[in-house]
A and B are shown apart, each in its own frame.
Chain A
Amino acid sequence: MVRKITIEPVTRVEGHGKVTIHLDENGKVAQARFHVVEFRGFERFVQGRPYWEIPVLVQRLCGICPVSHHLAGAKAMDVIVGVGPGKLTPTAEKIRRLMHYGQILQSHSLHFFHLASPDLLFGFDADPAIRNIIGLAKSNKELAVHGVILRKFGQEIIKATAGKKIHGTGAIPGGVNKSLTSEERDYFLKSPAPFNVDTMIEWAQQAIELFKKIHRENRQVIDNFAHFPSNHLSLVRKDGALDFYHGVLRAVDADGRKILNDVDYQDYLEYIAEEVRPWSYMKFPYLKKLGKEKGWYRVGPLARLNTCDYIPSPRAQKEFEEYKAYTDGKPNNRTLHSHWARLIEILHAAEVIKELLLDPDITGGKLVKKGRKKHEGVGLLEAPRGTLFHHYRINDDDQVIMANLIVSTTNNNEAYNQAVKYVAEEFISGKPEITEGMLNRVEVAIRAYDPCLSCATHAVGQMPLEVDLYDSKGQLIDRKRK
């Protein structure tokens, strides 16, 4: 007798995406929602732990962006040990930046080559079996190899600065525990092609050219898909430059008017609040100044290029100027342009990595500073998917007594819902069932943000995307799952 054994290893990220769409009596979309089953236990998990463990502990939140949590946690701990923003040694500051820009490079590359490029190259209606990195490997091997090597390069930068892939220990409260050796530096600068930073810069530039070509050929679709107005929030450097690691908080509305004018993120609670809605475990952050209804915002590449004034690296700045010119200098509210913005950020990250590698401080020996201890600290940075908030309080025994984390996915919560609503109204309204094409478009809308479900959720099992369609009486009339 043949016995089939099915093996279901626990997926690395525990969660799934679920979309529900409710139709009214006329079959039109009445409501569309993206549900994420969030597990907020991490904030409780770290309570009672000594503060110096935080930068290592928080990496366990996510297998995709542990470095972002590592650095945001470390930045908060810098404040607690009295060596707040701008007070680290030059070596510590630059090593952390190198680690972070390596993270941006690898994560963005994964997103574009793994998720976005297949959608853009093959079209939204292409067979899902080929509309992925595997299909890309078959049809455009060179592009797929670029994606793999760019990602690998970023990972190696992280390994050199953080120490290892799991539980990196590079950033510690008040500094870092290692700098680069000259051999490590030269490995990234001078290795034979393709594994050197100059090749990464060239490939990043090529990826932008590819996007622009696809855009020229599919302008209508790329410009109009899930195009909706929103506010945008991110860190910017004090002079308004794009900065992923440190700066002040800035928010602009859909027309570019400043809502938050370069405020200190230590005071973020004065400006941002989180709303709880009964149907979702994930909170909805909003700008207090505008209130719950109008105060929601987007974070991530699109938002960052909407809030910053310029990009402080020459090639990325040139691309930024072209990008901004497309919307006459106004904020860009086109969801699929986030891929364009992401590619410009990859180029910028590669340029900054080269600049840092050429900086003598990167091999320096002064790694840590100490100051007067405080009981509270906030660490913020721009993670690949958007602004990441870490906020902690400690007691006199150095134990964490409060933690509050707002991850990028939570910041973008309303944006997912808006994107799904767009797809529902545009492609599902008036239809009795969910077709493959509709499901694909829901997928494309969510992929534009690539929600970090492990940061925001916990549910053991596989990771499907499920779309449910309900009639006006609340009866489930169709369900599609992939």
Chain B
Amino acid sequence: MVYGIGNPGRQDDGLGPALVAELEKKNLAGLTLEANYQLQVEDALLFAEHQMVIVVDALGKGDKPYIFKKVKPAKNFSFTTHSFPPEGVAYLCQALYQKKPEIYLLAIRGYYFDLGETISLKAQENLREALRFFMKILNFVTPKGKIICYNKCSESKKLLNLKEERKSNGKKQKRSSRPGGYPRV
């Protein structure tokens, strides 16, 4: 599942839903697409129904056009209902439904967050780059919803820090052949 979050009425904050809109045009099989203004507690149930979830959000700072990282369950919490991070959803997913989907965050750099319906030109460039990266990553998703790194996909290798993951697993992962068709992510 790809879940874009953000407010399209706040300029670059709409980057998440915009990426989902681009994916809708591609009509990719096996891919659930969702978009909403923000994550909420009931998304734990939705996440639990999928093997892999990529949350796409806008990024407020940094010098990279996008960042991709694995989300680990954490007890992150705010004093208001108006903010709920992916780590919190991941935690609830595990605590309430005993499910541990692979959750990743694709955060696309935005620059303007005032009222307005247009994504800035610079952020649109970042969106295109993030989309290209996403399509590349999608090619290396296993049927179980894990991302296998290819040498060709150096970005994912670097960003996912898979070397460490392999070490922690205690064994070296084999290069996976490209799955036939897209798994349900």
Contacts and interface: CB of A to CB of B under 8 A. Distances in A.
B1 to A, nearest CB: 14
B103 interface: no
A59 B79 CA distance: 23
Contacts of A166: 8, 17, 35-37
Contact of B75 (A129, A167, A458): A129
B76 to A, nearest CB: 8
A111 B45 CA distance: 18
A246 interface: no
A69 to B, nearest CB: 11
Contacts, number: 161
A63 B7 contact: yes
A482 B69 CA distance: 25
Residue from A8, A15, A129 having most chain B Cβ neighbours under 10 A: A8
A165 B9 contact: no
A10 B9 contact: no
Contacts of A147: 41
Interface string A113-141: 11100000000000011001111011001
B74 to A, nearest CB: 9
A14 B6 CA distance: 11
A453 B37 CA distance: 14
21 contacts: A5-B67, A8-B60, A10-B60, A12-B37, A12-B82, A13-B83, A17-B79, A64-B82, A110-B41, A110-B81, A132-B77, A133-B92, A148-B45, A148-B92, A151-B40, A165-B36, A450-B82, A453-B80, A460-B113, A462-B83, A463-B82
B61 interface: yes
A134 B95 contact: yes
A134 B75 contact: yes
Given A10-B59, A141-B95, A167-B8, A17 B37 contact: no
B116 interface: yes
Nearest to A151: B42
A24 to B, nearest CB: 28
B77 A133 contact: yes
Nearest to A451: B80
B60 A460 contact: yes
A461 B60 contact: yes
Given A111-B81, A151-B42, A12 B107 contact: no
Interface in B1-59: 5-10, 13, 17, 34-42, 44-45, 57-59
A61 B7 CA distance: 9
Interface in A1-18: 5, 7-15, 17
Contacts of A17: 79-80
A7 B59 contact: yes
A307 B162 CA distance: 60
B79 A134 contact: no
B135 interface: no
Contacts of A407: none
A7 B42 contact: no
A447 interface: yes
Assign chain B's interface to a size class: 35 or more
A9 B35 contact: no
Nearest to A11: B83
Interface residues of A, number: 64
A449 B154 CA distance: 48
A141 B92 CA distance: 10
A469 interface: no
A462 B78 CA distance: 10
Contact of A13 (B17, B58, B82, B116): B82
A61 B9 CA distance: 8
Contact of A113 (B38, B41, B91): B41
A63 B41 contact: no
A228 interface: no
A181 to B, nearest CB: 22
Contacts of B115: 39, 41-42, 45, 60, 458
Instruction: Give me the 4 closest cross-chain CB pairs, A-B, nearest first.
Output: A60-B9, A63-B37, A12-B38, A13-B82
A482 B38 contact: no
B81 A115 contact: yes
A443 interface: yes
A115 B92 CA distance: 15
B38 A463 contact: no
B159 to A, nearest CB: 9
A141 B91 CA distance: 13
Contacts of B78: 463
Contacts of A5: 67, 69
B95 A9 contact: no
A452 B81 CA distance: 9
